[in-house]
Structures are given as structure tokens and as C-alpha cells.
Amino acid sequence: MKSWGRILFGGLPLLFVFGCPDLIPGDECTEDADCAAGEVCTNGNCVAEAECDTDDDCAAGEDCVNGECVADGGNGGDPVAGEAFYNANNCAACHAADGSGGLGPDIRVVSSAEIFANLSGTDPHTGGTVAGVTQDDADDLEAWLATQ
């Protein structure tokens, strides 16, 4: 009967000849050159290359949001700041995570002027007002809602 040590370590020289097998299933790449055109290597997987890294990579009137160029709502607002404002003020409780409505109406196509009037208290808003809201906040929120 052969010893386990001889069985287990008898194949060790084969590793030196043929190399180590892929130890992490699913790894497709170790560098961008391993991927197809338009893809980059991220955490061992080939993924589509981001369309943009910053707003400067996008056309006029667009912002870079999660690697994609999206319309900024036409008002120069920052959709990333708009999303942060939406989440910080719990707007999703009434308007859903994407602004499509729930207890409150769909607000995805509401202008920044209307948003400001509602949140500042100039016009009635069942959800109440937001202390210190500015027109810039409303512009940012409109820009984010336009991406939803």
C-alpha cells in the first residue's frame, strides 16, 4: 500500500512543469490587456469600460453618474448631490426610491422651481418643508430625478 505522502506529493513535480491551475474560479483577467476591446479588468473580471470618470468626459449638458453620461436636467444641477439630498431628506418614503411615486406623486419630471416652491413652503407640500433648502438643492434634485 502506498503512503499518502507519496500519493499527494508525487504530483508536485507536475505543477512545476505545467504551472499552477487557476485557483480562483471565474477569474478572467489580471490586466486590461486580457480583456476584449471596450472592457477593463476589475477585480479579476472583464467588465465594460466606463463611459466617463468625471463630468469633463461628457458632452455639454451631461454629467458623469456612475460611469455613464446622463442629461443634467438642463439646469446645471449636480445629480450626485441631488441623489444625496433625496436620500438625506427621506423623499423615498413618499415618492419611491426613484421618484416614481407611491404615497406621493411621481416627481421625476417636476421642475426645480416647483421643487423649491414645495420644499421651501411657498407652495403646499404634504411632506413638509426642508429647513435651509436652496435653489441649488432643487437644481441638483431635478438633475438627479431626470436620470431616473
Same domain, 71 and 138: yes
* pLDDT confidence band for 22 (50 / 70 / 90): very low
Domain extent, residue 35, equals 17-49
- Find, among 82, 134, 69, the residue nearest to 108 by Cα: 82
- Residue 112 C-alpha cell reads as 426645480
Same domain, 59 and 115: yes
**CB contact set of 12 (below 8 Å; sequence gap of 6+):** none
Q: What is the pTM of this model?
A: 0.52
The answer, yes or no, to whether residue 5 has pLDDT greater than 70, is no
Number of domains in the chain: 2
Q: What is the DSSP letter of 28?
A: -
For residue 69, what pLDDT is reported?
Answer: 74
CATH number of the domain encompassing residue 90: 1.10.760.10
Same domain, 84 and 141: yes
- Residue 24 C-alpha cell reads as 480562483
- Residue 61 C-alpha cell reads as 449638458
106-133 confidence digits (pLDDT tens): 999 888 888 988 999 988 898 899 999 9
Asked if residue 7 belongs to a domain, the reply is no
For residue 118, what pLDDT is reported?
Answer: 92
63-74 confidence digits (pLDDT tens): 666 677 766 555
Q: What is the DSSP letter of 103?
A: S
Whole-angstrom CA distances from 78 to 49, 59, 73, 93, 107 are 23, 15, 9, 22, 17
Same domain, 83 and 125: yes
Same domain, 44 and 61: no
Asked if residue 123 belongs to a domain, the reply is yes
